[in-house]
Chain A
Amino acid sequence: MVVNHQQSRNMATLKAISIRLKSVKNIQKITQSMKMVSAAKYTRAERELKAARPYGEGAVQFYEKAEVAPPEDEPKQLFIAMTSDRGLCGAVHTGVSKVIRTRLSEPGAENIKVICVGDKSRAILQRLYSKHIISVCNEIGRLPPTFLDAARIANAIMTSGYDFGSGKIIYNKFKSVVSYAQSNLPLFSRNAVESAPKLAVYDSLDSDVLQSYMEFSLASMLFYALKEGACSEQSSRMTAMDNASKNAGEMIDKLTLTFNRTRQAVITRELIEIISGAAALD
């Protein structure tokens, strides 16, 4: 408050400027080390993502090749928002939440339920759409995602008691260090798969096999989406923190300049005071 008051008269004291300068320097140190940390985490995430890509593609192949379509008589849908608990990473989480928010603001939204993976999507969606959220998973993003995490989420979806006809997993698909885009993976109920036009060509299917198959492929898709999300998040945090460090650098430059100028002004003023005092005595 004091700083503001003095700045409005363009007479910031030396003390106020040096306090500000110090705090900006500290912020820069923090953002710089956060960038280093996420750079290390990003390299690991990218390596793991490379291994997970064929896995995710393989899991979706069956649904594509069997031409499974969402059932028309079952309007209930499930959306899964793949985000994480951690912020300070650009628009990664808002992007995913925005896709869901747009869908929820369209007509027919009363048939849609949402599962939030990660605290961030919950924080964004709960204010306006809390009645759509059926469950939230947190503790995502601190450690690299594992298959066990995916299996737990899949289990939570399966035991949620919500009979959806179709759905989507909304996640960030990693493209390069500087770009990612929201993408989605399809979810289907067993009825939808059973009524797929090309299912008949598949041999020796019984409902047990189909059930186990679908459960596992749900976990695989979630695993893949988690990996893509983690990689996008780290790369985006890296860029965000790099920008923050740059901005802090600019601010430090400006503040140093003001600090030096003010110091010079103080010295000049004191000199004038001494000289004019001496002159008055003569």
Chain B
Amino acid sequence: MEFQPQYKITMSYTLRSLLRTVSRKLQVRSYAAEAAAPKEGEMAFTFAAGNKVFYDKQVVKQVDVPSFSGAFGILPKHVPTLAVLKPGVVTVTENDGKQSKIFVSSGTITVNEDSSVQVLAEEAHPLENLDRAAAQEALSKAQSEFNSAANEQAKAEAAIAVEVAEEIVKAASA
């Protein structure tokens, strides 16, 4: 099926979304091929951490990320931007509506002009792998370190540890 370029522009949204559902169905069948070459208007999402790769150039529906300038959601054709990850939960909504929640400690978010999105985290783990009791323990340890910190640098480092531990506790108890 080939469209003339003018026709393509005026193509109604219903038709387009119909096409998209079809392509989504195809995607289930040949996921690897589809993931390798995301089409125009879809976002190629890469989510990698030092310990694991969660998504590699896969097409997803939406990504919600916590950043220092506030949490925001990324949909396809998001305006290009750079941001710095804050400790918190990244929520990825895949094309079939499945949501996965992954906790990240720190890292970067890049949204490029061609709609490709890279989330790079220092360390990331799925929410179900977090242990609340261990997180609580880490939090109290970080707090005591913060209180006994001798110099500015140690204090700043402990403050970061406290922040991360607080977020883990919050995420694990949610």
Q: Is B48 an interface residue (CB 8 A)?
A: yes
Contact residues in B for A57 (Cβ distance below 8 Å): 46
Tally of A-B residue pairs with Cβ under 8 A?
84
Alpha-carbon gap, A212 to B86, bound state (A): 11
Q: A62-B82, A62-B118, A220-B120 are in contact. Are A55 and B108 (CB under 8 A)?
A: no
* Cβ–Cβ contact B50 & A55, under 8 A: yes
Stretch from B11-19, B22-30, B109-117 at the A interface: B109-117
Q: A54-B48, A61-B110, A146-B50 are in contact. Are A213 and B82 (CB under 8 A)?
A: yes
Alpha-carbon gap, A223 to B110, bound state (A): 18
| B-contact bits for A43-80, CB 8 A (1 contact / 0 none) | 00000001111110111011001000000000000000
Q: A51-B48, A55-B53 are in contact. Are A209 and B120 (CB under 8 A)?
A: no
Q: Is A234 an interface residue (CB 8 A)?
A: no
Contact residues in A for B172 (Cβ distance below 8 Å): none
* Cβ–Cβ contact B84 & A209, under 8 A: yes
Alpha-carbon gap, A220 to B83, bound state (A): 15
**Cβ contact of B48, chosen from A58, A146, A151, A205, cutoff 8 A:** A58
* Cβ–Cβ contact B68 & A223, under 8 A: no
Q: Is A282 an interface residue (CB 8 A)?
A: no
Which of A195-222 touch B at CB < 8 Å? 198, 201-205, 208-210, 212-213, 216-217, 219-220
Q: Is A129 an interface residue (CB 8 A)?
A: no
Q: A55-B48, A58-B110 are in contact. Are A209 and B82 (CB under 8 A)?
A: yes
Q: A202-B81, A203-B79 are in contact. Are A216 and B108 (CB under 8 A)?
A: yes
Alpha-carbon gap, A212 to B106, bound state (A): 11
* Cβ–Cβ contact B69 & A209, under 8 A: yes
Q: Which residue of B lies closest to A201 (CB)?
A: B80
CB distance from B73 to the nearest CB of A (A): 14
Contact residues in B for A146 (Cβ distance below 8 Å): 50
Alpha-carbon gap, A61 to B50, bound state (A): 17
Q: Which residue of A lies closest to B55 (CB)?
A: A54
Q: Is A147 an interface residue (CB 8 A)?
A: yes
Contact residues in B for A147 (Cβ distance below 8 Å): 50, 122-123
Contact residues in B for A223 (Cβ distance below 8 Å): 50
Q: A201-B113, A212-B68 are in contact. Are A58 and B118 (CB under 8 A)?
A: yes
* Cβ–Cβ contact A62 & B110, under 8 A: yes
CB distance from B104 to the nearest CB of A (A): 12
Alpha-carbon gap, A158 to B141, bound state (A): 30
Most chain A CB inside 10 Å of its own CB: which residue of B50, B113, B118, B122: B50
**Cβ contact of B53, chosen from A54, A203, A204, cutoff 8 A:** A54
Alpha-carbon gap, A219 to B123, bound state (A): 13
Most chain A CB inside 10 Å of its own CB: which residue of B69, B114, B118, B122: B118
* Cβ–Cβ contact A65 & B112, under 8 A: yes
| A-contact bits for B83-110, CB 8 A (1 contact / 0 none) | 1100000000000000000000011101
Contact residues in B for A209 (Cβ distance below 8 Å): 68-69, 82-84
| B-contact bits for A14-53, CB 8 A (1 contact / 0 none) | 0000000000000000000000000000000000001111
Contact residues in A for B50 (Cβ distance below 8 Å): 52, 55, 146-147, 223
Alpha-carbon gap, A269 to B31, bound state (A): 80
Which of B7-60 touch A at CB < 8 Å? 46, 48-53, 56-57
Alpha-carbon gap, A44 to B122, bound state (A): 20
Contact residues in B for A212 (Cβ distance below 8 Å): 68, 84, 108
* Cβ–Cβ contact A216 & B107, under 8 A: yes
Contact residues in B for A61 (Cβ distance below 8 Å): 110, 112, 116, 118
CB distance from B9 to the nearest CB of A (A): 22
Interface residues of A (CB under 8 A from B): 50-55, 57-59, 61-62, 65, 146-147, 151, 198, 201-205, 208-210, 212-213, 216-217, 219-220, 223
Smallest CB-CB A-B distances: 6 pairs: A147-B50, A58-B118, A55-B48, A203-B79, A212-B84, A54-B56
Would you mind naming 30 contact pairs between A and B with Cβ atoms under 8 Å apart?
A51-B51, A52-B50, A55-B50, A58-B46, A61-B116, A62-B82, A65-B113, A65-B116, A146-B50, A147-B50, A147-B122, A151-B122, A198-B113, A203-B80, A204-B69, A204-B81, A205-B81, A209-B83, A209-B84, A212-B68, A213-B82, A213-B83, A213-B110, A216-B106, A216-B107, A216-B108, A216-B120, A216-B122, A217-B120, A219-B122
